[in-house]
Each structure stands twice: as structure tokens, then as C-alpha cells.
């Protein structure tokens, strides 16, 4: 699942997003998991948003298919969930995916620490807000706050990366503990 999230955020950045919010909520008692990615990119009109869910449509010139959102939508439907895409030109896009947690075909969330580090180190200029909830526990990260503490030192500076990775890894491990 973390690779789906990485793909969607990379698409957001390609669409000019300067701020991306990732929210994950796992409610085991309700047997639901929700993943939401919201950006402030260029957005899409209704026709383009519908096409974005078609595996044979892409705006990329390097290939003739765009499988990111269609594969995520199928992963949702396979587990009794759903995918919604809301977008408005000039205002951004929100992708919301829901899954049945206990479904045998639900893929694991995967290495979110690696995904977050890839995004932060690869795009230190982007404001990334991350929040993950699991049965009342919360881990959140806001790169704007971290950057304010660092001052002129970039988020991807070699002396910052190990500390940032440890912060993320420890926060995510506390959710599981």
C-alpha cells in the first residue's frame, strides 16, 4: 500500500503541489482502514478526474497506460472498500481509499517510513503533513514544523536524515506497540 501512496504523491508533485497531506486511519473495531491523500496541485476538471480512473489513460508521454489509481481502486473494491477522487481545477485533488481491514486480500500498509523518507529527502521543499491513527493512537509529522526548527538547514541534509528517519520509525512503531 505504501507504494500506492508514493505513486499518488509523486503524481501530486508532478501536478504542481507544494503541500501534500497524507492521512491513514485504521479502526480495527469497525474493520475499516482509510487512506486519504490531499494536495494543493493544479487539480482536474470532472472529465479528467473520470479519465484518471481509466487504466488506458495517462498524461505521461513515456507510456500509454496509467495504472496507479485504477490498481488502487481495484485493491479497494477487492477488499469490500471503495476509492473516491475529488478534484477542482486550481484547488487540488483528494484521493480517499477505504478497505476492510480483515479481508484476506487486503495488502499490508508496507514500509511507510521508507515512503515518507523518500518523499521528504527527494522533495524537501514540499510541505508534507502525515497523520496515522490506529485504534486511538496517533502519529503525526509536519515538515513545516521540522523545517522551522532547522532554520536554514534543509530537510535532506546528511546530518538531518538519520534523526528524521529515527523520528518517523519510532513514531510508527509506537502505533503498533
Give the separation between CA 173 and CA 177, rounded to whole angstroms: 6
- Of 5 and 48, the structure prediction assigns the larger pLDDT to 5
Domain regions of the chain by residue span: 2-176
Check if the beta carbon of residue 168 is closer than 8 Å to that of residue 141: yes
Q: What is the pLDDT of residue 67?
A: 64
65 has pLDDT over 50: no
**Residue 116: helix, strand or coil by DSSP?**
helix
Q: In this model, does residue 28 exceed pLDDT 80?
A: yes
Higher pLDDT, 60 or 154: 154
Rg over CA atoms, the chain: 16
Asked if CATH classification 3.30.565.10 holds for the domain at 2-176, the reply, yes or no, is: yes
**All 3 cell numbers of residue 100?**
476492510
Q: What percent of the chain lies above the pLDDT cut of 70?
A: 93
Mean of the pLDDT values across residues 121-149? 96
Average pLDDT of the segment spanning 8-25: 95
First to last CA, the chain: 20
Percent pLDDT > 90 in the chain is: 81
- Concatenated DSSP letters of 6-57: HHHHHHHHHTT-SEEEEEEEEETTTTEEEEEEEE-S----HHHHHHHT-TT-
Mean per-residue pLDDT of the chain? 91
pTM of the model: 0.91
Q: At 99, is the secondary structure helix, strand, or coil?
A: strand
Please give the pLDDT value at position 55. 67
Question: Is residue 172 within 8 Å of 141, Cβ to Cβ?
Answer: no
Lowest mean pLDDT among 63-77, 125-139, 147-161: 63-77
Backbone angles phi, psi at 119, to 5 degrees: -70, -45
Q: 56 vs 48, which has greater pLDDT? A: 48
Mean pLDDT of 140-144: 98
Amino acid at each position: 500500500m505504501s507504494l500506492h501512496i508514493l505513486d499518488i504523491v509523486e503524481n501530486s508533485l508532478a501536478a504542481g503541489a507544494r503541500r501534500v497531506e497524507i492521512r491513514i486511519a485504521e479502526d480495527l473495531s469497525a474493520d475499516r482502514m482509510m487512506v486519504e491523500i490531499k494536495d494543493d496541485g493544479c487539480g482536474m476538471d470532472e472529465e479528467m478526474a473520470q479519465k484518471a480512473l481509466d487504466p488506458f489513460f495517462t498524461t505521461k508521454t513515456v507510456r500509454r497506460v496509467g495504472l496507479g489509481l485504477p490498481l488502487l481502486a481495484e485493491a479497494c473494491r477487492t477488499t469490500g472498500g471503495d476509492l473516491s477522487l475529488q478534484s477542482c481545477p486550481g484547488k487540488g485533488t483528494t484521493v480517499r481509499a477505504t478497505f476492510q481491514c480483515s479481508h484476506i486480500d487486503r495488502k499490508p500498509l508496507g514500509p511507510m517510513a521508507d515512503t515518507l523518507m523518500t518523499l521528504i529527502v527527494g522533495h524537501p521543499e514540499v510541505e508534507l503533513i502525515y497523520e496515522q491513527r490506529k485504534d486511538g493512537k496517533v502519529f503525526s509529522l509536519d515538515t513545516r514544523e521540522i523545517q522551522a526548527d532547522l532554520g536554514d538547514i534543509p530537510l535532506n541534509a546528511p546530518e538531518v536524515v538519520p534523526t528524521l528517519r529515527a523520528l518517523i520509525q519510532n513514531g510508527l512503531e509506537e502505533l503498533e506497540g
